């Protein structure tokens, strides 16, 4: 079975509330609706628990 790349299409900063969405065309995160603190060292809610690849638990 091929490796599936699991990529969230949305992430939110747990510190300042900034929300970003994945832009497929730009292949980059883009701010969704503005807001947040530009000086914040963003703590994304997908950190830690998110596994970028399927089947890599071992
Ligand atoms: Zn932030």
* Model confidence pLDDT, tens digit, residues 4-44: 667 788 999 999 999 999 999 999 999 987 677 889 999 98
pLDDT for res 40 = 93
**Ligand 1: centre distance to CA 54 (Å):** 28
Q: Which two tokens stand for residue 27?
A: 């292949």
6, burial (CB in 10 Å: exposed 0-12, middle 13-18, buried 19+): exposed
What spacing in Å lies between the alpha carbon of 55 and ligand 1's midpoint? 30
How many angstroms does the Cα of residue 33 sit away from the middle of ligand 1? 14
46: domain range?
Answer: 1-58
Domain count, the chain: 1
Output 55 or 25, whichever has higher pLDDT.
Answer: 25
Tokens describing residue 2: 């091929």
Q: How far is the CA of 39 from the centre of ligand 1 (A)?
A: 8
């Amino acid at each position: 079975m091929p490796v599936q790349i699991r990529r969230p299409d949305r992430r939110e900063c747990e510190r300042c509330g900034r929300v970003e969405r994945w832009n497929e065309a730009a292949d980059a995160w883009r701010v969704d609706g503005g807001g947040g603190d530009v000086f914040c060292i963003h703590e994304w809610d997908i950190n830690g628990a998110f596994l970028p690849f399927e089947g890599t638990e071992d």
